[in-house]
Structure 1
Amino acid sequence: MGRLVGRLWVGFTLSLISFISYSSQIFIIWPWYGRTLSIPLLKLLVPFNILVGMIFWNYIWTVRTDPGTVPKGWKPDLRSSEGYEVKKLTGAPRYCRTCERYKPPRSHHCRQCKKCVLRMDHHCPWVNNCVGHFNYGHFLRFLFFVDVACSYHFIMISMRAWHAMNASGFWQGPSTSELVFLILNYAACTPVLLLVGGFSLYHFYCLASNQTTIEGWEKDKVATLVRRGKIRDIKFPYHLGVRRNIRAVLGERAWLWCWPQPMRGSGLNFPVADGTGKWEEFHRDRSRMGDYNGSRHRAHEWSSTDADVDESGTNGGRGGSRLRSVEGGDLV
């Protein structure tokens, strides 16, 4: 049943994109230009169709790309200088009792996908997939092209509406079918532009700050506790600078950022900024606050669960984690 519902979501999304993209051209713009192929018509529609093509391309990549799962048999390297997350109570590496695998940093278990997802951001029903390490770049490009194409579409049909309102003769006004599709296109495009536009702004902020949606919730809660004076201020460890953050997701070459390309890295470890105190201070301070751990679990319970248990299967505590250094001691 779940797979069927997921496919229905994808089918609905593709249908909505197709309706907005092609009904406007066939029933509004084509009649407006006298149903005759011309240079002005091509100048108007060719860029729009390129944008639509990029929407479909990046959407399919987002749907079809595995966001990344923990390799079978993977274990954190205790000798490595790369950080790994541990449970606050036992100091043991995080372990998912559902998947029966260790959990790398920034990974979470998705109940819908029934697996631990690398650098999990959220589970998106619109793509019937988790958005994680290997498809986050495709997801961002999809949002970007939806924003640009919807803006182009809105301006394009508004030009037709403006021309109709200022028509000097009856023959220049829209027909009944044109008027109906103008209304339908406004009704379909405007909510998409507003909702996806707002959603995109948040994710572009996440891109610039190198944080996931789940980590954003954590940061918000920590900021609240800092304001209340319950913990000291903690700097987010994965913020490497805006330029490096963007390159980590969209690639090294800026001129290819809008072009679909594979994600770099394994998703099992991530560089951290110098002098941030790493996750150790961040989670050590938050672990003192029981209300924070409970709120955090409830906040993303809809998409993930931190089943952090020992390899033997006994519960070793949820949520809190820290980084250990190459010597095995806590990073300060």
Structure 2
Amino acid sequence: MGRLLGRIVVGLTSSLICFIAYSSQIFVIWPWYGRVVSIELLTLLVPFNLLVAMLLWNYRLCVVTDPGRVPDGWQPDTASMEGYEVKKLTGGPRYCRTCEQYKPPRSHHCKSCKRCVLRMDHHCPWVDNCVGHFNYGHFIRFLFFVDLACSYHLAMVTRRVTHAMHSRIWDVPEGVELVFIILNYVACIPVLLMVGGFSLYHFYCLLGNSTTIEGWEKDKVATLVRRGKIRDIKFPYNLGKRRNIESILGPNPWLWCWPTRTPGTGLKYQLAEGDGKWIELQRPDYKEQWYRREDDDEFV
């Protein structure tokens, strides 16, 4: 039942995207240009359709790409100097009782997917999939192209409306065209506002190399710091804005907008620079321990 509902949601989401993208062209822009193909019409519609194509491509990749699963029998290298996350109560590596296996850094168990997901960000009902290590880049690009395509769409439809308002001849939209102009505004504006706000949050997370779950955890840590229960700590995965983006979208800036495989295995992550051995730090009233470097207070 859950799987069927997820497919229905994906189908409805895809239908909404296609409705906004193509009804505006078929019932608003095409009649406005006299149903005749011209250079001016192509100049207007070709960029828009490229944005829509990239949007749909990345949306499909979000849906079908496995976000990453923990290999059977995986165990953390406790002798490595790379660091690993431990549980506060046991002092041992994080372990998932449901999956009965160890959890790599930044991984979490998803109740919807019924398994641990590598670098889990959140479970997204709109793509019927977890957003994790291997599809987070597709998810970021999907949000980016939704913002661009919706902005372009609104500018295109608004241009039609303003042209009618300032035209000296009778060119007021009516009938089917008027209905679809209204429907496109009603469908597109809420999508742009909601996805736009969501996008800003995830672009912020991308720049800080943080997941949604880690954002919640950092908020909890900040609260404990303010209450004086722990001292201030540094998030260990923040490598600097450029390297944070590269860790998700790849090292080539020219390919950041092109669907590519996320670098790495999702089983370990590069840490902020610093030397020194890892020592255990007790953190009262917090659910997990991290390790820190003795000389620079960086955590992992």
Residue 224 of structure 1 is matched in structure 2 by 223
SS at match of 2:282: helix
Listed as ranges, the matches of 1:290-305 within 5 Å are 293=286
TM-score (norm 2): 0.94
The separation in 2 between residues aligned to 1:110 and 1:190, in whole angstroms, is 32
The structural deviation recorded for 1:182 is 0.6
Percent identity for Structure 1 against Structure 2: 69
Are residues 173 and 324 of structure 1, via their aligned partners in 2, closer, same or farther at CA, if it must alter by over 3 Å? closer
The structural deviation recorded for 1:41 is 0.3
The separation in 1 between residues aligned to 2:278 and 2:137, in whole angstroms, is 24
SS at match of 1:116: strand
CA contact (8 A) 2:69 2:115 kept: yes
Are residues 115 and 244 of structure 1, via their aligned partners in 2, closer, same or farther at CA, if it must alter by over 3 Å? same
SS at match of 2:6: helix
The structural deviation recorded for 1:173 is 1.4
Residue 137 of structure 1 is matched in structure 2 by 137
The structural deviation recorded for 1:227 is 2.2
CA contact (8 A) 2:237 2:271 kept: yes
Correspondence 1:39 to 2:30: no
CA contact (8 A) 1:279 1:322 kept: no
Residue 321 of structure 1 is matched in structure 2 by 289
Are residues 245 and 274 of structure 1, via their aligned partners in 2, closer, same or farther at CA, if it must alter by over 3 Å? same
| Superposed structure 1 runs of 4+ greater than 3 Å apart | 275-281
CA contact (8 A) 1:237 1:277 kept: no
Residue 241 of structure 1 is matched in structure 2 by 240
Could you give the per-residue CA deviations for residues 241-261 of structure 1, whole angstroms, max 9, x where no partner exists?
Answer: 000000000000001100001
Instruction: Point out where structure 1 has 5 or more consecutive residues left out of the alignment.
Output: 294-318, 326-330
The separation in 1 between residues aligned to 2:85 and 2:230, in whole angstroms, is 20
Equivalent position amino acid for 2:241 in 1: V
CA contact (8 A) 1:280 1:321 kept: no
Between stretches 161-170 and 123-132, larger displacement belongs to: 161-170
Correspondence 1:74 to 2:42: no
Listed as ranges, the matches of 1:155-194 within 5 Å are 155-170=155-170, 172-194=171-193
CA contact (8 A) 1:236 1:276 kept: no
The structural deviation recorded for 1:217 is 0.6
SS at match of 2:109: strand
Instruction: Point out where structure 2 has 5 or more consecutive residues left out of the alignment.
Output: 294-298
CA contact (8 A) 2:278 2:292 kept: no
CA contact (8 A) 1:207 1:246 kept: yes
Are residues 197 and 256 of structure 1, via their aligned partners in 2, closer, same or farther at CA, if it must alter by over 3 Å? same
The structural deviation recorded for 1:168 is 2.2
Equivalent position amino acid for 2:196 in 1: G
Between stretches 94-103 and 224-233, larger displacement belongs to: 224-233
Residue 90 of structure 2 is matched in structure 1 by 90
TM-score (norm 1): 0.85
Equivalent position amino acid for 1:284 in 2: Q
The separation in 2 between residues aligned to 1:268 and 1:175, in whole angstroms, is 58
The structural deviation recorded for 1:277 is 9.6
Equivalent position amino acid for 1:264 in 2: P
Residue 272 of structure 2 is matched in structure 1 by 273
The structural deviation recorded for 1:86 is 1.3
Equivalent position amino acid for 1:174 in 2: P
Could you give the per-residue CA deviations for residues 40-84 of structure 1, whole angstroms, max 9, x where no partner exists?
Answer: 000000000000000010011111100001000101112222211
Equivalent position amino acid for 2:117 in 1: V
